[in-house]
Structure 1
Amino acid sequence: MSSSGGLALHTKMLIGFVVGVAAGLLVNAFAADAGWVDVVTTYITDPIGQIFLRLLFMLVIPLVFTALVLGVVEIGEPHSLGRIGFKTLLWIVAVTAVAVTLGLVLVNLLQPGAGLDEAARAALMAQAGERGGEIAAQREGVSGIQVLLNLVPRNPVAAAASGDLIAVMVFALFVGIAATVVRTDGTRTFVGACQGMYDICLALIGWVIRLAPYAVAALLFTVTARLGVDVLLQLARFVGTVLLALGIHFFVVFPLLLWVFGRMSPLAFFRGAQPAILTSFSTSSSSATLPTTLKVSEEALGVPRSVARFVCTLGATANMNGTALFEGITVLFLAQFYGVDLTIAQQVMILALCIFGSVGAAGVPGGSLPVIAMILAMFGIPPEGIGLILGVDRLLDMCRTTVNVTGDMAGAVVIGRSEIAGGHAEAPPATPDRV
């Protein structure tokens, strides 16, 4: 993605990262106790960051609701594809759950966000304001039965207004199922309106992300002016954890699934899928890679055309293994970074939110940011921590998009193979190496 100013957006974000970190380190080294630093952070850098975060919060509810409704409708719309739709849904949920669980385990083992000085952490929490503490207090002492009951909102509008994301997701799933069953002109109009709202959200996210370089500089200046070089060490550990988790999912989980369920040699798969893998890495967009994904799946991987078109098209917006993994690690890392203790039950809830939230993450660069911001707020973790992540997000976005697209192709292979084995589709004349 490039901007009208000539520089690519990710280049501007990198510049914002460098400017914010460099200025913050200089202030931390030479003027940490100066009165003007508080003035700058209180009246300039913090408001800039807060406006950016509020814009993200503004988009998350309509984005997630419309994306989930459209995803359910698209899965179950044509009766002839009902069987493939069920298999696709099963693949998305199962493989995404594996990805998020992998991230959860690694974060708890490696503790990338732990080790920050307690005084510095207390200062960060104080600076983040009282909102996070209020939200956290509201969630203390909630029993498992209450969590289960809260999945179904009494009032979906109130749930949306209070930021209860998982209740909104459950309501969206019900609406999507009903819209699939009730085939009337009115429901078709409603689905069309959802599509229009989803397209509007994508456009707005694109505009908001253009402000990210300035938000990155402002948020990182605020943090590094107080923490100094410590924050960079924590950030490096975060990047390492994300890349390790993505690498395990890409080089271990996918090959095992292809070998066991797809009956295909992983080497043959990666050799055939190479054009789409490279395209996804360079564009950071599942949607932009879709034409290449379809071509590769049909011609190089031997997936029946009907299966490839359905699975890959739906996967470009709904099958986000890498995004879900990244969201889970980011939330847990920032919880460790800010010293917010999360119980196992809360971590499992985050896992579920990331599974469904990844469906609502737009298949464009930065599309997962609104979902991450909302999950952070739900668990009393200061959303300002997104500023840390944005500075290094370009590389991570490229890597997780590669995992997303590879997951689409692997799913197409597995589902296509099951259709051929069941006699519902014909094998292509020339198939790649299979075992």
Structure 2
Amino acid sequence: MAVAKPVGKLWLDALTMTVVPLLFGLILTGIAGAAGQAAAGGIAFRTLILFAVGLVIACAASAGIATMLLGVWPVPKAAASLRPSGDVPALAPAGDWLTGLLPTNPIAAAAETAITPLVLFTLIFALAASRIAPDRREGLLAPMRGLVDAMLVIVGWVLWVAPLGVFALALQVGTSTAGGALGVLAHYVITVAACCLGVTLLALLAGALLGGRGPLAFLRAAAPAQAVAVSTQSSLATLPAMFQAVGALGVSEAASAVVLPLAVAVFRVASAAANVAVTVYLAHVHGVSLAAGTVAALVLVAATVSVAAVGLPAQVSFFATIAPVCVAAGVPVGLLPLLLAVESLPDLFRTLGNVTGDIAAAAIVGRNAPVSPAASPRP
């Protein structure tokens, strides 16, 4: 234990130190790039608006589902022993929180890990960058991509020794909770999976109703793609099956060719919702009270960061997208490496929800597009 405690802390600190630069670089390059694609045509613009609304609704719904579920089925008592020995970060009162949404000094906000104002500043900065001349925008984004790549190399180094770091952290948890940690992890998996399934159902209903199809017809068309999603745990690998699904729904080839590639890249609706569920769960584990303003902040951060995490490996994106949400809510991140060890189970439901959301988005955007029932799928 004398060795495990400093080794575990050092490994977690090495992973945490990449969060702020990754956050800034990913949001700037992701949002500015997506906004640039929106300028290419009306369908892309409508698609991105739908993505923004859908992400916020999904994150808010996930927060509500997780809170209600944990109210009915609270975290196991053994979770109390997982709490850190130090004080939980205190959140500002509601009035101070509202006035502090925009940072007077973005560099100070980054230094103090004030995630919510930092995300808002970066979002505004990225949208402004999308409006400047293309050559200057590219000159700004190129070093940011280099920053992100360098941070990902560091994260790769840290994850290379992940077995040692996770073992050290797990040893501390195991000695303090005995077998109770297993019950907490099982409870966590079920809670996050339930939130993902709830968002999947919302996406299905939205795609069926707003897309002008019946729920059963939508489900029949989407079922083969959903099966591929669960078996591969990859939205990208499911893309050909998604083209088949939207073709069966009568979505035009022109609409699906724009919406689906964009959706696979930036519309990770169930992943964003799951990140909110993880944060709410950890808040209950650590006894952190989530006021309405705090929930609004974590919903905004989760929706924004999910768009920015384009193309990140699963292990990297798990920490890079959840840690900022936890910090925005004042929730400690020390248990995230342990949750990463069982992430393959909730990830099944993340991918299922993401693919269902992508098909629903194509059905909604393509509703008023020219119908092509025999549209050939594009791989």
Aligned match for 1:219, one of 169, 173, 177: 169
Task: Report if aligned partners of 2:269, 2:354 keep a CA contact under 8 Å in 1.
Answer: yes
Distance in 2 between residues matched to 1:307 and 1:202, nearest whole Å: 34
Q: Read off the aligned partner of 1:262 and give its amino acid letter.
A: G
Compared CA separation, residues 362 and 52, structure 1 to 2 (3 A): farther
Compared CA separation, residues 210 and 375, structure 1 to 2 (3 A): same
Q: Which runs of 5+ in 2 are unaligned?
A: none
Task: Report if aligned partners of 1:76, 1:82 keep a CA contact under 8 Å in 2.
Answer: no
Displacement of 1:198: 3.9
Displacement of 1:414: 1.0
1:173 aligns with 2:173: no
Aligned match for 2:211, one of 262, 284, 289: 262
Deviations 1:12-47 (Å, cap 9, x if unpaired)?
A: xxxxxxxxxxxxxxxxxxxxxxxxxxxx2x422x33
CA RMSD, 1 decimal: 2.9
Compared CA separation, residues 296 and 210, structure 1 to 2 (3 A): farther
Aligned match for 2:296, one of 341, 348, 372: 348
Q: Which runs of 5+ in 1 are unaligned?
A: 1-39, 421-425
Displacement of 1:346: 1.8
> When the two structures are superposed, what TM-score results if normalisation uses the length of structure 1?
0.75
Task: Report if aligned partners of 1:63, 1:360 keep a CA contact under 8 Å in 2.
Answer: no
Aligned match for 2:343, one of 387, 393, 398: 393
Distance in 2 between residues matched to 1:380 and 1:79, nearest whole Å: 34
Distance in 2 between residues matched to 1:203 and 1:264, nearest whole Å: 46
Distance in 1 between residues matched to 2:245 and 2:150, nearest whole Å: 30
Aligned match for 1:85, one of 44, 56, 63: 44
Distance in 1 between residues matched to 2:248 and 2:46, nearest whole Å: 22
Compared CA separation, residues 66 and 216, structure 1 to 2 (3 A): same
Q: Read off the aligned partner of 1:69 and give its amino acid letter.
A: L
1:98 aligns with 2:57: yes
1:57 aligns with 2:16: yes
Larger Rg: 1
Displacement of 1:196: 4.2
Displacement of 1:208: 4.0
Q: Read off the aligned partner of 1:312 and give its amino acid letter.
A: L
Compared CA separation, residues 214 and 270, structure 1 to 2 (3 A): farther
Aligned match for 1:428, one of 368, 372, 375: 372
Q: Read off the aligned partner of 1:88 and give its amino acid letter.
A: T
Displacement of 1:396: 0.8
Q: Which residue of 2 aligns with 1:292?
A: 240
Bigger drift between 288-297 and 387-396 goes to 288-297
Bigger drift between 71-80 and 95-104 goes to 71-80
May I ask how many residue pairs the two structures share in their alignment? 372
Displacement of 1:340: 2.3
The 3-state SS of whatever aligns with 2:335 is helix
Distance in 2 between residues matched to 1:279 and 1:203, nearest whole Å: 31
Deviations 1:105-151 (Å, cap 9, x if unpaired)?
A: 2322232554526xx8378421xxx4x53x32xx24x233x323322
Distance in 1 between residues matched to 2:322 and 2:126, nearest whole Å: 23
How is 1:243-262 mapped onto 2 (pairs within 5 angstroms)? 243-250=193-200, 252-262=201-211
Displacement of 1:325: 1.5
1:333 aligns with 2:294: no
Deviations 1:304-342 (Å, cap 9, x if unpaired)?
A: 344334333332332121111111111111121122233
Distance in 1 between residues matched to 2:220 and 2:81, nearest whole Å: 50
Distance in 2 between residues matched to 1:361 and 1:236, nearest whole Å: 27
1:317 aligns with 2:261: no
Distance in 2 between residues matched to 1:338 and 1:201, nearest whole Å: 29
Q: Which residue of 2 aligns with 1:116?
A: 77
Displacement of 1:411: 0.7
Distance in 1 between residues matched to 2:341 and 2:28, nearest whole Å: 32
The 3-state SS of whatever aligns with 2:212 is coil
Stretches (4+) displaced over 6 A: none
Q: Read off the aligned partner of 1:427 and give its amino acid letter.
A: V
Q: Which residue of 1 aligns with 2:325?
A: 375
Distance in 1 between residues matched to 2:76 and 2:31, nearest whole Å: 43
Task: Report if aligned partners of 2:222, 2:245 keep a CA contact under 8 Å in 1.
Answer: yes
Displacement of 1:349: 2.0
Compared CA separation, residues 85 and 186, structure 1 to 2 (3 A): same
Displacement of 1:101: 2.3
Displacement of 1:409: 2.2
Distance in 2 between residues matched to 1:245 and 1:272, nearest whole Å: 23
The 3-state SS of whatever aligns with 1:77 is helix
The 3-state SS of whatever aligns with 1:257 is helix
The 3-state SS of whatever aligns with 2:40 is helix
Compared CA separation, residues 206 and 161, structure 1 to 2 (3 A): same
Distance in 2 between residues matched to 1:197 and 1:273, nearest whole Å: 39
Compared CA separation, residues 336 and 109, structure 1 to 2 (3 A): same
**What percentage of residue pairs aligned between the two structures are identical?**
28
